[in-house]
A and B are shown apart, each in its own frame.
Chain A
């Protein structure tokens, strides 16, 4: 055991590099699963790590699966934003894929509603 710990410790030290990690969704606006009284103009996603802009995407669809976003997402640091068309009351789904700067990929999806709570 002592030898195993020593070998592993030495190896970790020898291999040390700038650490990055998987980009988890830290928070979103509108909030994940929330109901907002007025239609938002954009969806903003904030992650736990910085993103690679060229390989990180998000799209927003309505209950019929029709895209209601305005196209290309804007990525800056650990934040990804996408503009929305005028949204009538209803349920919407946000799907995202993220590539953190160290090439780890993550993905997720959540819903929000526009209308009276």
Chain B
């Protein structure tokens, strides 16, 4: 099978960052009074200038015997215009299975192009379209962390805060949900090396989150300790189900349910979640996922925190109700 063209990482990254350095500053995921944090397992529904560095997870695979797996990843997201953004990321993994040699290497380079369809402030509603590309041949496919073929995943993202409920809904107004649904196409339908079909996969997930900052500033200030007022308890789910070209492969849905906490500051957030496999094929026991996430638009408002086009020099407008 012809190998897909290899994307040279170094020149691509150098060009991207060269382009970024000529720009000026503004936003992560605000929709009206609602702030939707960057979620750890799925993506949030906004284009943004952000950096996840690092995201670290530990889990045990569903193999027999289970392999212990570490993943360390980084992702940079950058707005091109106010509504168009791109992100680039990669993951380094290491697995150790009893009786087998330790394996490590990079996954395929992943890029995502995103377009902000809607931000409806009164209803705290955000909609986003994205195209995720996993570039085949850029990872350690011989160690099982990359693939020789690429994968494309058109994805729809949404986020909804419940602050528009009537005032008598009280503390319930601090809830929000986010989600995403994507359809993953491989660029090849058959893996010659493994002698198996490569399925098309429905990739989906969601989050239910409760914003203590929103409770304090919009509903009722209980004068709780400052640390608690920065917390967003959250439950995320990330799932995938093979739906086509799946001959000879396991048809089972795999994924994890992740309860956890996100602490939100002015310039960064820190998240920690447990990873509970939904079945044995998804893993063994409970894993851990942690992330440090930087708000580049707040850290560098006059440089890389601005969209590449249409951000710098735009005079502030008079704000109205």
A: which residues have CB within 8 A of B?
Answer: 1, 3-5, 7-8, 11-12, 14-17, 19-22, 24-25, 27-28, 31-34, 48-49, 52, 54-57, 59, 95, 97, 99, 102-111
Contact = CB atoms under 8 A, between A and B. Distances in A.
Contact of A8 (B53, B91, B297, B301): B53
A19 B21 contact: no
A5 B53 contact: yes
Interface string B192-229: 00000000000000000000010011111101000000
A66 B301 CA distance: 37
Cβ-closest 3 pairs across A and B: A33-B220, A21-B298, A97-B319
B266 A22 contact: yes
A11 B10 CA distance: 14
Contacts of B30: 22, 106
Given A16-B300, A24-B213, A103 B218 contact: no
A52 B319 CA distance: 11
Interface stretch (B12-20, B127-135, B250-258): B12-20
Given A5-B74, A21-B267, A25-B217, A107 B32 contact: yes
Interface in B263-321: 266-267, 295, 297-304, 316-321
A110 to B, nearest CB: 5
A95 B174 CA distance: 17
A104 B121 contact: no
B38 to A, nearest CB: 14
